[in-house]
Amino acid sequence: MYFLFLTLWSFLRMASLNPTNVWILRDNVLVLEVTGGAGQHLLRCIHSEDEVSRRPDEGAGIFWKRNGVKIPSVGNVLTVALKETSGRGNYSCHDEDGSFLNHTEVLILEDNGKKMRILEPDHINCSAPNYNGRFQCFWTWDSLRVGKVALVRVGRHNDPNDLRCSEDAEGKQWTCVSSTSNISCSVDPSGNSVSCIDDQQCPYAEEVNVIRITVYLVYDSLLENYSKSFYLSEIVKPGNVRITKVNKKAIEWTYPESWASPNSYFPLTFEIAHLDELHLELTSRTSCWAKLNRRTTTVCFRAKDALSNSEWSEWSPERSVLIRELKRVTARFTHTTRRIRSVERVTSQSERT
């Protein structure tokens, strides 16, 4: 008898701890945070007890469907059994004649100790083109699972209770406000990234608070959250360097158009790749001019913030020094040929006269 009581008590205790938390993502979308153990949650079709009591059958004739399939349960309250990720799905309740009454989508969010399934192992990466407050966070879906963004929470805050987020009507843009930031994020058309802007970011001031972004992704009613914390100085990545002049002796370039200004306040370090038929030579510069050695046939560039340990930009497209020189020689030859032909025409006309 004691063993039976202990077993029953253990089951009820486990059930009472699972789900560990329940919250509303948006209207008719419920999130259950679970441990993976056995548990249960009650869904109500009609939330007003007065409305239920006014029904002739007091709700006894209500039946339920899960993902469009009728399940053997009747009444105003449905008990959803939980274990691991089971219990998730779209639940709808119907009157005896089959008419629709209400619905609730149940999303399951496992605790962070569980294996992530929706994204590939690298999870989320972020980059910023400058210090003006714009940044983008992107990811790669697992090859077997392509989901969608369900929620974005982002801000420069130490206390989670200091953050207040709102969502647009389409569920594709979120604005999160705290005492130290006002950041908006929207889902990009590809569905593989979000673009954000911090309206309170001052590019000339030192960053005091770190940005923390959490993206909630859903696939098959399974919800997972992925987080990233960073300063803009850690993720800033300049755009491509633009080459303005190149010949056999020297090369000139300009800062990326997307980079912050003035350049004296936001200096870049440049790396130049000199290529010939047999060698690759890398040199660094802080100016926008460099000499070329006689063997160089091709050059390309990349840049990074000179004052932080951030990423290099992508390499610029290769620029051929020989082609540039050949074009110059060809243009000179063409010009000379035209002058010769012009002189010949004048001479021929004079002789005929």
Q: Tokens 């004079």 correspond to what residue?
A: 350
Using a pLDDT cut of 90, give the percent of the chain over it.
Answer: 23
The per-residue pLDDT for 350 is 59
Helices (runs of H) and strands (runs of E) counted in the chain: 4, 24
The per-residue pLDDT for 130 is 94
Give residue 143's pLDDT band: very low, low, confident or very high (50, 70, 90). Answer: confident
The per-residue pLDDT for 94 is 92
Mean pLDDT, all residues of the chain:
80
Of 5-19, 79-93, 329-343, which one has max mean pLDDT?
79-93
The per-residue pLDDT for 196 is 95
Cα radius of gyration (the chain): 33
Q: Which domains does the chain have, with CATH numbers?
A: 2-110 (2.60.40.10), 125-235 (2.60.40.10), 242-325 (2.60.40.10)
Give residue 11's pLDDT band: very low, low, confident or very high (50, 70, 90). Answer: very low
Ranking 97-111, 118-132, 147-161, 268-282 by mean pLDDT, the lowest is 268-282
Q: Which amino acid is at 60?
A: A
Interval 269-301: pLDDT, tens: 988 887 766 566 677 767 777 777 666 677 788
Interval 180-206: pLDDT, tens: 889 999 999 888 899 999 999 999 998
Has residue 7 got a pLDDT over 80? no
Region 129-140 average pLDDT: 94
The per-residue pLDDT for 185 is 94
Has residue 324 got a pLDDT over 50? no
Element (H, E) at 23: strand 21-26
Q: Annotate 145-181 with b (16+ C-beta within 10 A) or e (fewer).
A: eebebbbbbbbbbeeeeebebeeeeeebbbbbbbeeb
Between CA 219 and CA 64 the distance in angstroms is 23
Element (H, E) at 239: none
Region 159-185 average pLDDT: 86
Between CA 156 and CA 183 the distance in angstroms is 9
Has residue 337 got a pLDDT over 70? no
The per-residue pLDDT for 125 is 92
Region 220-243 average pLDDT: 90
Question: Is the pLDDT higher at 55 or at 75?
Answer: 75
Cα distances (angstroms) measured from residue 83 to each of 23, 33, 65, 198, 300: 18, 11, 19, 40, 56
